[in-house]
Structure 1
Amino acid sequence: MPKFAANLSMMFNEVDFLDRFDAAAMAGFKGVEFLFPYDWDAVELRAKLEAAGLSQALFNLYPGDFSKGDRGFGAMPGKEAEFDAALDQALGYADTLGNELLHVMSGIVPAGVSREACTETLIANLKRAAPKAAARGKTLIIEPINTRDIPGYFLNTQDQGRAIIEAVGADNVGLQFDFYHVQIVEGDLAKNFEKHLDIIRHVQIAGVPERHEPNVGEINYPYLFDLMDRLGYDGWVGCEYRPKAGTVEGLSWMKGY
């Protein structure tokens, strides 16, 4: 049976962020994830997790100025110092919050910079970061994202992600497999999941095309949930979707799981 983690950046927006932990627990979740924790004190967030009886699944490294379109430093030539600082910050938060997984955002390909240069930068950054993360018991993951939601994003396909992970060659560097993005870019969800299962460390779900609940749209998630069980995937399944109406009102899809 899949382990669902509520994404508190997208779900339970009916209440303030710090109240979403209790709201998620009351709705039946055992884990949570969110985009970024850096506007809050790590100790305060840890207290919210413990009070609600929740586990932290993951969060993202600081991406730069999100409001101005920054989407990470991982594959950005010339931003190595910013990447290193973001990694150190994220490791500190993860030590306090207790999560193993950290998502390294690749970023948007800069004008005039080749994709080859971005590939080399991401590999070099991950090679440098992996031992530091391993020493703290952490795993770094990269996520292919569709360019409809984030135009110009560097990492887009599972094969591209695999090639980078294999080039890094570290046990604690893996793939974040988001069925929403995979459907938009590649499709063939079941076969893609099975093909890359050996490097998948985290899964996310949402309906396609509107990114609502997983029972809204074109993806047959009950089949995919059964597939995860059959293949032995036992990691978190992050619910990174925007509720169509109210968060709790839209959770009927989760009954039975």
Structure 2
Amino acid sequence: MNRRTFVKQNIAASALAGLAPVGAFAANFNENTFLNEDNFNLDYAPHLGMFRSHAGEDPIDQLNFMADQGFKAFEDNGMKGRAVALQEEMAATMTKRNIRMGVFVAHTIYWTEPNLASGNKDLQNEFLKEIRESVEVAKRVNAKWMTVVPGYVDQRLNMQYQTANVIESLRRAADILEPHGLTMVLEPLNFRDHPGLFLSESPQAYQICKAVDSPSCKILFDIYHQQIQEGNLIPNIEASWDEIAYFQVGDNPGRNEPTTGEINYKNVFKYIHSKGFDGIVGMEHGNSLQGKKGEIAVIEAYKQSDDF
């Protein structure tokens, strides 16, 4: 599953159902999973579709189900494309249920051709226009963070010039966001799922954030992507800690819930918590099993991984 699937299909968690190994806790199905309302140590954020077998298709019912399971956050890559009335209804439900809004995608992502790296002013202005539009969405749904992906590399331009072009665009975007207290989070994406993208590693994102030098430009550290791209997760999180504002997770291989792959998420979550992280950890992954059993497995996986 890649981000294009998430954005185009509103993060349809069922897309990968049954394609990955069964998680270590997937067999622990019981009705006591539900309505626990115990607080997790971290604010994990499910997405629409993750619990549709239990909650149905209605976004409001899904939000209420998430709250009933003790989740205190929610993220929605496709929020910007939803009808204004639905955005407002979802925001009201999140406020009522004490759920924080996580990231949504702030702009058009160029997957196969350069935009911000190229230095093209028309493409830069398109990006800035979409950032301005995203400010209004963020206000409407009480969001603090929005995802930015600088797009494809320009193969005809030296990497240092590309970096300078990206920094210039992000500085201008930060000028738009700062007065509203909003933050764009830059997401490095791995070379295997997204070959040819400009931003792929945490040190690169760290360098760019330092150059932009704004509280409105930080890193979205997606643990799934960085396990594939660079590994050495905890040391790299430590090295870039002061520029990280948001995390996303998914196990590898398979991009499903924790416990289904090779990442020791209990240790990673414990480390993030020990650093005093009070932001959101987005559950940007599929379910390893189909239907209600798969949804229970996701909840159980987070209970176990958060048990430290």
Deviations 1:2-38 (A, max 9, x none): 1111133x62354436253233223332111121223
Find the counterpart in structure 1 of residue 254 from structure 2. 210
Find the counterpart in structure 2 of residue 16 from structure 1. 57
Q: Would the aligned equivalents of 1:213 and 1:244 in 2 still touch at CA under 8 Å?
A: yes
> Aligned to 1:46, which of 76, 81, 88?
88
Find the counterpart in structure 1 of residue 224 from structure 2. 180
Q: Would the aligned equivalents of 2:184 and 2:217 in 1 still touch at CA under 8 Å?
A: yes
Find the counterpart in structure 2 of residue 58 from structure 1. 103
Find the counterpart in structure 1 of residue 275 from structure 2. 231
1:216 CA displacement: 0.9
Q: Would the aligned equivalents of 1:43 and 1:96 in 2 still touch at CA under 8 Å?
A: no
In 2, Cα distance between equivalents of 1:224 and 1:141 = 20
In 1, Cα distance between equivalents of 2:182 and 2:138 = 8
Relative to the length of structure 2, the TM-score reads 0.75
1:56 CA displacement: 0.7
What amino acid is the match of 1:12?
F
In 2, Cα distance between equivalents of 1:218 and 1:133 = 37
1:107-118 matches, cutoff 5 A = 107-118=151-162
Q: Would the aligned equivalents of 1:71 and 1:106 in 2 still touch at CA under 8 Å?
A: no
Structure 1 unaligned spans of 5+: none
Larger relative contact order (CA 8 Å, sep ≥ 6) = 2
Say if 1:70 and 1:36 are closer, same or farther in 2 by CA, change over 3 A: farther
Instruction: Determine helix, strand or coil for the equivalent of 2:126.
Output: helix
Q: Would the aligned equivalents of 2:91 and 2:140 in 1 still touch at CA under 8 Å?
A: no
Aligned: 1:99 with 2:143: yes
Say if 1:190 and 1:96 are closer, same or farther in 2 by CA, change over 3 A: same
Instruction: Determine helix, strand or coil for the equivalent of 2:103.
Output: strand
1:247 CA displacement: 2.7
In 1, Cα distance between equivalents of 2:57 and 2:160 = 42
What amino acid is the match of 1:16?
E
Q: How many correspondences in the alignment?
A: 253
Bigger Rg over Cα: 2
Say if 1:76 and 1:105 are closer, same or farther in 2 by CA, change over 3 A: farther
Aligned: 1:5 with 2:45: yes
Structure 2 unaligned spans of 5+: 1-40
Relative to the length of structure 1, the TM-score reads 0.89
In 2, Cα distance between equivalents of 1:17 and 1:144 = 32
Deviations 1:198-253 (A, max 9, x none): 11100111101110111111000111111112121121111111111133333211
Find the counterpart in structure 1 of residue 176 from structure 2. 132
Q: Which moved more, 1:74-83 or 1:225-234?
A: 74-83
Instruction: Determine helix, strand or coil for the equivalent of 1:120.
Output: helix
